[in-house]
Amino acid sequence: MTLEQAEGVVRAVVVYDGRVLLVPDGDGWALPSGTPEPAETAQAAAARIVYETTGYLVDGTEPLDPGEAAGEPVGETAVVCQLLTESPSSGGRFTPEQLCWTPIAETAGTPLPGPVRAYLQGHTPV
């Protein structure tokens, strides 16, 4: 397996106990996202972005296949992340009170890329 340098925007998909981690984005909510640093993989960028934004430690484990979804922004990568800590450190840009752990079933009104929505639909608790 080779790891490739990430380009464009990296979005982190942190799912825990049937909920997805969202951060404030203007008047709504969004996945933690940012741009990779030089020579950084998408997995490493996702882990760094989540930590810098929320204070949670995660492991960026699985980049989602962008597929052929029409209308999806080019140059974006979504990475599924495994939560490593149940409590965030105090170093995140947002405080724990500013974060939202949203039940997957309630993300319908949240603007999510197609591959992320497909992934979450496959992981909705019964």
Dump pLDDT digits (tens) for 18-63.
999 999 998 899 999 999 998 899 999 999 999 999 999 999 888 8
Q: If pLDDT is split at 50, 70 and 90, which confidence band does 11 have?
A: very high
Question: Do residues 22 and 100 touch, judged by C-beta distance below 8 A?
Answer: yes
Mean of all residue pLDDT scores within the chain: 86
92/66: higher pLDDT: 92
Global pTM? Answer: 0.85
Highest mean pLDDT among 61-65, 76-80, 97-101: 97-101
